[in-house]
Amino acid sequence: MIVGKQKPFDEIWDMVKGFKKVLVYGCNTCVAICHAGGSKEAELLASMLRMRAKQEGLDLLIDSAGIERHCEPEFFEPLDEKVKTYDLILSTACGVGVNFLADRLAGAIPVYPGINTSFYGAVPEAGFFVELCGGCGNCILHLTGGICPIVRCSKSLMNGPCGGTDKGKCEVSSETDCAWFLIVERMKKLGTLEKLFEVQPPRDWSTATHGGPRRISLEHIRAYEAEEEKKATLTGEGK
Say whether residue 15 binds another protein (CB under 8 A): no
Burial pattern 164-176, b for ≥16 Cβ within 10 A else e, equals: ebeeeebeeeeee
Among 51, 141, 190, 223, interactor with another protein by CB under 8 A: 51
Residue 61 contacts residue 21 (beta carbons within 8 Å): yes
138 touches another protein (CB under 8 A): no
Is residue 154 part of the contact set for another protein (CB under 8 A)? Answer: yes
- Beta strand 169-170 pairing with 173-177: antiparallel
Letter for the amino acid at 162?
C
CB of 63 to another protein, least distance (A): 17
**Applying CB under 8 A, which of residues 159, 192, 206, 209 lies at the interface with another protein?**
159
Specify whether the CB–CB gap between 68 and 75 falls below 8 A: yes
Q: How far is the CB of 239 from another protein (least distance, A)?
A: 55
Q: Which residues pair with 5 in a beta bridge?
A: 116
Report the residue from 11, 14, 56, 228 that binds another protein according to the rule CB under 8 A: 56
| Nearest distance in Å: CB 25, another protein | 20
Those residues whose C-beta lies under 8 Å from the C-beta of residue 91, and which sit 6 or more positions away, are: 25, 27, 37, 70, 97, 98, 101, 111, 112, 113, 114
Q: Does 127 bind another protein (CB under 8 A)?
A: no
Which positions touch another protein (CB under 8 A)? 9-10, 44, 48, 51-52, 54-57, 154-168, 171-173, 178, 180-181, 184-185, 193, 196-197, 199-203, 205
